[in-house]
Every structure is written in structure tokens, then in C-alpha cells.
């Protein structure tokens, strides 16, 4: 991610100078050390193919899946195009040319590889949730414990309240890669859910951007692990709905630098 950020930063840097030379840009650098301060957001061209390659490595190293399982998609909000990881290829050797580009109606735009077998699920979620731009499907151990039990995971810790915002429900079982699984996942996520479980299979996490989707993945697995341990020694005390709603709202509006 850092490498990608640096490369995008560098691209933005050069593009900023190009605009300045053409006299069409709005270069408003504020002195030494802030060469990007004046760039308009639209001037930073995101390389989604490189972004997906980096995100694949991030998924592999997160420990939330193994081998070639799991898959990732990102939607470019400007073009509406969706970038997906290819089917059954090792994340650590993926290249930009392996990334598949599709429209949300399922048509292939570009790609020499077959997209992930769960492309229908990714596109279904992105169609149903216009505010979501990143979808990550994982196979993590503790989330899968509840996916096998087909039991929901409640937001029992503060991090879950903030990142997940509600109970994570298991989708009704369907075979991998089928339209039924896509339909069931969209239904289990609902209109506001940040994650759902795929029965006897794994988890699906979403975000307005990739960082948020990864945060949801990490927090879901941590919550599942704590819930599993808590159930093993006693009866977990659930957080009241209003406290969960308060923490979710606080996390979105106030938590973090640059917020009031
Ligand atoms: Zn899977």
C-alpha cells in the first residue's frame, strides 16, 4: 500500500507540473514540503489495476484467507467500472494485466483472465449498495466457525459497534459462484450491513473504500474470535442497540484526525 501510495503521489506530482506547464492547472502549492497541497482531487488518477494487485497482497498477508481463496473488487466511482481479482491465481504473483474490468451489469470491459467465480456476488452487492466501492470476500477461521454454525455475530465490542455497526448475519447456504449465493449475500448484507457470513464458506466485507473494507474484515474476525472465546466460558453480555448506534455514528462523524 505504501508503495502504491508513493507511486500515485508521484504520478499526481508529475501531473500537477504538467498542468502547471499547460497553464490549465490550479497549482497552489503552499511552499516547501507541501508540493501536493494545491492539486484538485480529480487530478490524481488512480491506477485501479495496481491498486487491486496491492490489495491482493494485503489480503494474503492479512491471514484472513489462504492460497488463492477469497477475492476483491473495487469500483471507480467516476467511471463506474469494477476491477476484480482473477479466478484462482496466487495473490503474490498477480500483475496489473491479470485484473479483470467489468461493468456492474456483468459485461466484460477488459481482461485476459477469467474473473473471480464470485464476480456475480461482487457486482450484486455493488449494484444494491451505490455508496459501497470495495468488496472483500475472505475465509477467516473464527468467522467461519459461526458461518458453519450459521449463527449471527453480534457487535459485542466497541470496535465492532464502530466498524460493523450491527449484527453480522449468515446468508442462506448456496454453492460457491452461483447466482443464488450472490442473491443470498446481498440479502444478508441488507441496506446498511458492512459484513455478512457465507454459510459453511466464509465472510464478505464491504466499505466505501478499500481501507474501510479491510478494517471491517479485521474487526469482524477479531469480534468472531472474542465471541467464540466468551461463549466458551460464559454468557456474553451484548451491547444495547442504542449504544451500538451511538458508537457507529461517533466513528463516522467525529473519530479521527480532521473531524470535529
Ligand atoms: Zn470463497
Degrees to nearest 5, angle at CA 205 with 204 and 208: 145
Q: Into how many domains does the chain fold?
A: 2
135 in any annotated domain: yes
Give how far the C-alpha of residue 232 lies from the chain's centroid of Cα atoms, to the nearest Å: 30
Clarify whether residues 27 and 142 are in a common domain. no
| Alpha-helix runs per DSSP H in 132-209 | 141-149, 158-163, 179-189
What is the CA(204)–ligand 1 centre distance, in A?
A: 9
**CA–CA separation, 163 and 139 (whole Å):** 19
In the three-class reduction of DSSP (H, G, I as helix; E, B as strand; rest coil), residue 28 is classed as: coil
- pLDDT at position 25: 32
The segments of the chain whose pLDDT lies below 70 read 1-44
Query: What does the pLDDT read at residue 43?
Result: 57
Cβ–Cβ under 8 Å, residues 70 and 227: no
- Integer Cα distance of 56 and 189 in angstroms: 23
Are 64 and 39 part of one and the same domain?
A: no
- Distance (angstroms) between ligand 1 centre and the Cα of 127 equals 20
Report, as residue numbers or ranges, the catalytic residues: 118
176 Cα: distance to centroid of ligand 1 (angstroms)? 7
Residues 37, 164, single domain; the answer is no
Q: Each residue of 215-241: pLDDT tens digit?
A: 999 999 999 999 999 999 999 999 999
What domain range is 15 assigned to?
A: 2-43
Record the pTM.
0.82
The CATH code of the domain that includes 148 is 3.40.225.10
Residues 102 and 32 in one domain: no
Residue 98 in domain:
yes
Amino acid at each position: 500500500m505504501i508503495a502504491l501510495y508513493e507511486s500515485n503521489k508521484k504520478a499526481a506530482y508529475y501531473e500537477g507540473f504538467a498542468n502547471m506547464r499547460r497553464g490549465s492547472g490550479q497549482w497552489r502549492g503552499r511552499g516547501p514540503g507541501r508540493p501536493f497541497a494545491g492539486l484538485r482531487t480529480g487530478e490524481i488518477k488512480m491506477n485501479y489495476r495496481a491498486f487491486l494487485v496491492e490489495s491482493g497482497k494485503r489480503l494474503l498477508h492479512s491471514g484472513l484467507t489462504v492460497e488463492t481463496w477469497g477475492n476483491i473488487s473495487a469500483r471507480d466511482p467516476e467511471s463506474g467500472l469494477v476491477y476484480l481479482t482473477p479466478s484462482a491465481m496466487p495473490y503474490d504473483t498477480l500483475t496489473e494485466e491479470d485484473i479483470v474490468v467489468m461493468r456492474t451489469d456483468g459485461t466484460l470491459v477488459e481482461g485476459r483472465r477469467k474473473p473471480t467465480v464470485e464476480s456475480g456476488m461482487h457486482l450484486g452487492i455493488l449494484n444494491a449498495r451505490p455508496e459501497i466501492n470495495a468488496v472483500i470476500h475472505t475465509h477467516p477461521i473464527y468467522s467461519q466457525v459461526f458461518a458453519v454454525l450459521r449463527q449471527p455475530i453480534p457487535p459485542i465490542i466497541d470496535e465492532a459497534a464502530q466498524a460493523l455497526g450491527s449484527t453480522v448475519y449468515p446468508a442462506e447456504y448456496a454453492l460457491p459462484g452461483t447466482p443464488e449465493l450472490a442473491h443470498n449475500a446481498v440479502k444478508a448484507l441488507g441496506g446498511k450491513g458492512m459484513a455478512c457470513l457465507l454459510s459453511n464458506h466464509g465472510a464478505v466485507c464491504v466499505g466505501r473504500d478499500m481501507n474501510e473494507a479491510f478494517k471491517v474484515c479485521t474487526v469482524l474476525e477479531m469480534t468472531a474470535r472474542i465471541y467464540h472465546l466468551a461463549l466458551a466460558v460464559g454468557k456474553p453480555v451484548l451491547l444495547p442497540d442504542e449504544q451500538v448506534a451511538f458508537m457507529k455514528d461517533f466513528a463516522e462523524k467525529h473519530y479521527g484526525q480532521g473531524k470535529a
